[in-house]
Amino acid sequence: MKMFNRNVLALAVFSAISFSLCGAGLAEELVPASPRAENSGTAAPEASSGIKSGACLENLKKYRLSNSIAEECVAEAEGPDASPELLYTVGLWFVSGEHDLFVSIKPDERKARHFLYNAAKKGSIDARQTYVVTQMNHPANDGVDNKGVALNFLKEMEADKTDDGFLRFVTTLKAVHRLKKEHAEKVKAMADADNYKAAFIYADILQASTLSMKNQADINKAMKEAEFYYNRVLMHYRDQKDDESRSLAARVYWNLIKYYVRLSAIEQYRDQSQKAVLSYLEILAKMGDLMAASNLAVSYHLGDWGRQDDDASYAWTSWVRNCAPGSMYSQGLKRVNKELTLKVPVEELDRRREKAPEFTAGAVCLEKNLPVRPGDAPEGLTVPAAENEDPAGDAASQDAGEPK
């Protein structure tokens, strides 16, 4: 049984800077979300290029990312006064690309390396970490090998003796396959001293160790210990409910999904694993994870995980398309939406619409749904409907903003 690889998903499922279920990519290991523009601080002085430094981050606070804004941001990032945050933001765009209704940025290894390096040299810790992983994990397609620079950055990370600095260093070592036993033992000690970040990292190390195990009993034992530490992270999130612990809790659930996807290949564990996958996807969806909600909608429609339920699929498809209209998630669910609404009797559609809130009750939409900057929408493309519309609206309203 394969997961989430149907054409109906289009781009909705696969986001390279999210925690994909399909292999151990860069994002799975460490890449944090794009820096929040609201933390950018005051604008810097005029850049020599004539572009006002800081204008890009201000636009990202006010408007949805578009090709025009992206071009302006890249130009600003090339200037001498570009902030570390701007350089890191632009660098991340080129790591794996950026796709939405109004923007399409292709991955570009050279540009990613360029902007991440400059961000790191200007003091961005996140950029330094991302640079190390991108350069040490993948051969340079353009013939440039900067592993030496990456190793120097890694030494700088090792010099940070704070708890957070050490955990960042260990996470990076794990991502580039240089983790040593003594590092893991120190992380465990920190986890046992109630450091919830260390608890996640140690559990993640334990789970990674199962990939080389042949005996299922050994795998089960390691995962039982991993789940003990994962639960510490979830308990911290339950008590704190802050953005940082929310992000880590989401990673816990994605890691558990990966484990149960793998376990589902074994007949005796299949039913248990299928239920676990759906349960964790629903938890993530209600936390506002659009990738999980999209996966959940498709899973219920296809019945891939032991439960086929078009009522639930309709509910989550409508919720995603209302929460993030015009996004890659909304576009990726377009075919599912049509299958659930076209040629369906009116009374059946009304019933699904009325029942939808039962499935999505408590789900929190974290999407900002910023307006499109005037003039940035391509000719003939409708701007997506505003947020807070009826999440179970009709098919026509849900298609607002979709390219025809």
pLDDT for the residue 17: 24
341 vs 337: CA distance, rounded Å:
6
Dihedral of CA 253/256/261/266: which sign?
negative
Domain boundaries, the chain: 10-158, 292-404
What is the Cα 90 distance to its own chain's centre?
17
The residue ranking higher by pLDDT, 122 or 401, is: 122
Tell the CATH topology of 10-158.
Answer: 1.25.40
Q: Among residues 181, 143, 16, which one has the least CA distance to residue 92?
A: 16
> What is the helix (H) or strand (E) element at residue 103, kind and residue range?
strand 103-105
Residue for token digits 């902030």? 83
Q: What is the pLDDT of residues 108-166, one digit of tens each?
A: 999 999 999 999 999 999 999 999 999 998 777 777 778 899 999 999 999 999 999 99
Ramachandran angles phi, psi of 99, nearest 5°: -135, 130
- Pick the range with the lowest mean pLDDT from 4-13, 203-212, 350-359: 4-13
The pair of structure tokens assigned to 273 is 């694993």
Q: What is the pLDDT of residues 158-200, one digit of tens each?
A: 999 999 999 999 999 999 999 999 999 999 999 999 999 999 9
Q: Among residues 229, 186, 190, which one has the least CA distance to residue 206?
A: 229
Q: Where are the alpha helices (DSSP H) in 210-366?
A: 216-240, 243-263, 270-286, 290-302, 310-323, 328-332, 334-341, 346-360
Q: What is the pLDDT of residues 247-302, one digit of tens each?
A: 999 999 999 999 999 999 999 999 999 999 999 999 999 999 999 999 999 999 99
Q: Among residues 263, 278, 284, 256, which one has the least CA distance to residue 217?
A: 263
